[in-house]
Chain A
Amino acid sequence: MQITVKLFATFREGRFSVEGREYPEGTRIAVILSELNIPEQQIGMIMVNARHAEPDQELHDGDTLAIFPLVGGG
Chain B
Amino acid sequence: MAEKILRVNMTTLTGAFEDVPSEWAGIGGRALTSAIVAKEVPPTCDALGKHNKLVFAPGLLAGTPAAQSGRLSAGAKSPLTGGIKESNAGGTAAQNLAKLAIKALIIEGAPVDDSKFYGIQIAKDSVKIVEATELVGKRNYEVIKTLSAQIAPKVGVLTIGPVGEMRMAAANISVKDPDGNIRSHGRGGLGAVMGSKKVKYVTIDDTNGTGTPIADPEKFKGAARAFAKAILEHPVSGEGLPTYGTNVLVNVLNEAGGLPTKNFRTGQFEGHDKISGETMREIIVKRGGKPKHGCHAGCIIQCSQHYVDEKGEYITSGFEYETIWGFGANCCIDDLDTIARADRIMDDIGIDSIEGAVIIGVAMEAGIVEFGDGPGTLKLLEEIGNGSPLGRILGNGAASVGKAYGITRVPVVKGQGIPAYDPRTVKGIGVTYATSTQGADHTAGYAVATNILKVGGFIDPLKNEGQVELSRNLQIATAAIDSTGLCLFVAFPALDIPETLAAIIDMLNAKYNLTLTGDDVIALGKSVLKTEHAFNNAAGFTKQDDRLPEFFSEDPCAPHNLTWTMSDEEIDEFWNF
A contact set with B: CB distance below 8 Å: 6, 8-10, 12, 17, 42, 44-45, 47, 49-52, 66, 68-74
Find out whether the CB atom of B443 lies under 8 angstroms from the CB atom of A45: no
A9 contacts B240, C-beta separation under 8 Å:
yes
Do A70 and B489 touch (CB < 8 A)?
no
| Complexed CA–CA distance, A73 and B236 (Å) | 8
Looking at the complex, which one of B243, B443, B460 makes contact with A10 (CB distance below 8 Å)?
Answer: B243
Determine chain A's interface SS by DSSP, over half rule: mixed
Given contacts A9-B243, A45-B252, A69-B239, 15 further A-B contacts (CB under 8 A): A9-B277, A49-B559, A50-B257, A52-B461, A68-B252, A68-B255, A70-B455, A71-B244, A71-B252, A71-B453, A72-B248, A73-B246, A73-B249, A73-B277, A74-B249
A50 and B241 in contact, given A8-B252, A71-B252, A72-B492 (Cβ under 8 angstroms): no
Question: Which residue of A is nearest B495, CB measured?
Answer: A72
In this complex, the interface size class of chain B, counting residues with CB under 8 Å from chain A, is 35 or more
Give the residues in chain A near B564, CB-CB below 8 Å: none
Contacts A45-B452, A47-B255 given: A73-B458 contact, CB under 8 Å? no
When the two chains form the complex, which single residue of B247, B277, B455, B559 contacts A50, counting CB atoms closer than 8 Å?
Answer: B559
Q: Is B321 located at the chain interface by the 8 A CB criterion?
A: yes
A73 touches B245 (CB 8 A): yes
Which of B240, B277, B455, B458 lies at the interface centre, i.e. has the most chain A CB atoms within 10 A of its CB?
A: B240
A8 CB contacts on chain B under 8 angstroms: 248, 251-252, 255, 278
Give the CA-CA distance A69 to B455 in the complex, in Å. Answer: 12
The answer to whether A9 touches B248 (Cβ under 8 A) is yes
Cβ B453 vs Cβ A72 within 8 A: yes
Q: Are A74 and B255 also in contact (CB < 8 A) when A9-B240, A44-B235, A45-B453 are?
A: no
Residue of B at shortest CB range from A51?
Answer: B462
Instruction: Output the least CB separation between B497 and chain A (Å).
Output: 12
Q: State whether the Cβ of B384 lies closer than 8 Å to any Cβ in chain A.
A: no
CB atoms of B443 and A74 under 8 A apart = yes
Query: Taking the nearest CB of chain B, how far is it from the CB of A50, in angstroms?
Result: 4
- Complex Cα spacing A3 to B208, Å: 64
* Distance in Å: Cβ of B493 to nearest Cβ of chain A: 10
* Bound-complex Cα distance A48 to B199 (A): 53
- Which residue of B235, B448, B458, B461 is within 8 Å of A74 (Cβ)? B448
